Amino acid sequence: MPTCPDPAGTVGFFLCQAGQRLRGAAIEAPRMEARLMLAHAMGYRQEDLLRDPRAPVPPPAARHFAEMLHRRLDHAPIAHLLGTSGFWTHELAVSPATLIPRADSEALIEAALDAFPDRATVHRVLDLGTGTGCLLLAALAEFPVATGLGIDRAPAAAALAAVNAARLGLDGRAAFLAGDWAAALGPAACFDLVLGNPPYVESAALPALMPEVARHEPALALDGGADGLDAYRAILAALPRLLAPGTGRAVLELGQGQRAAVEALARDAGLVPLGCRPDLGSVDRALVSAPGVQG
């Protein structure tokens, strides 16, 4: 291992050694992740950490950092080590009970904003498979008069989403419950906007996912069945009764290459696909659908 220029026990020394070990473990952004973990262990902001590379690292912080580094070298997600992850304009608590929010999913919020140029027209939002609550809470931040309901099959995920709502001061406008997709809702439930990031990975492909995902994120939120479409079938079948007639819109996240198949399922369910917004990688990510013409 190359030598580090700063004295042992200092910020620069810890960052140098950790960066080298993370690079050796094929971590994509080793220097950035080393900074994030050491700043977290020391209770500093990253910019404060870098002001004096020769500042000593207190022994308790050094031990905490060593524990985090050990787990990261075993491919525990960096968000699990830090306890939070950013999404839209929020910093959210995360846990192994939920998927870690990803920037690709922000395309759903952008698509929802495009679908409702007048933000005051959205009054009721439903988030199916809410996880951390990231989609629902971002939507409530953008649609100022809306209230929302998040549903997740994992009780621990619904509980964490409620914690995030309280942290963001949105608990008065958001409720969460554990249930199997829309089966948890009564026959009179009606929403202007339905959001969802269902599991869409084909079962056989799960072991090939990157280890941070395959070993540390919940299979319940990843496994979409043999063809990756099981959750879409359940959700799309329920959407015609859940969407406000004529004006309601559903925005569902897609896996790569799934647009045509999910659009066909939407049409079979009596919905009208209106388009699909790509993510930053130009992958078709956020499918927008509307209720079909009744009668």
* Residue 152, pLDDT score: 96
Q: How confident is the model at residue 224 (pLDDT cuts 50, 70, 90)?
A: very high
* Residue 1, pLDDT score: 57
DSSP β-ladder status, 284-291 and 124-128 = unpaired
- What are the residue boundaries of the structural domains of the chain, listed by start? 11-74, 84-291
Rounded Cα distance between 97 and 104, Å, is 20
What is the average pLDDT value for the chain, to the nearest integer? 95
Instruction: Tell me the average pLDDT across 226-255.
Output: 96
What tokens appear for 164 in the block?
Answer: 């995030």
Q: What is the pLDDT of residues 167-176, one digit of tens each?
A: 999 999 999 9
Contact 38, 14 (CB under 8 A): yes
* Residue 293, pLDDT score: 65
CATH class of 84-291: alpha beta
Task: Select the more confidently predicted residue: 187 or 258.
Answer: 258
Residue 189 DSSP label: -
Rounded Cα distance between 242 and 269, Å, is 12
